[in-house]
Amino acid sequence: MMNANFFHILKSKKELIPLAGIVSCAAVGAFSFCVYSLFGKSDVIINKSGNPEPWEMIDPTKPQKLVTINQKWKPIEELENVKKMTK
């Protein structure tokens, strides 16, 4: 019943059709980016209890941003030494 009412409003007020299209495209885009981040990014973690230190599993050579320009990773000696001493 609600869908029929919604389409009836769109038929009677045709100026709302672009607004409905833009809002629905924005909603689909937001949902797609959430799904992409959830399954495609290594820094998004769902199960916190399974691994207490999940940041250790992230590959530092793989960029974590959506767009990365001229970024190169090299290990910091002091940090690597501290990491070796604490394990």
| Verdict on whether the full-model pTM lies above 0.85 | no
Query: Exposed e or buried b for every residue in 18-50, given b needs 16+ CB within 10 A?
Result: eeeeeeeeeeeeeeeeeeeeeeeeeeeeeeeee
Domain borders along the chain are 2-86
At 27-52, the pLDDT tens digits run: 999 999 999 888 877 667 777 677 77
The 10s digit of each residue's pLDDT in 65-76 is 777 777 777 778
pLDDT given at position 21: 93
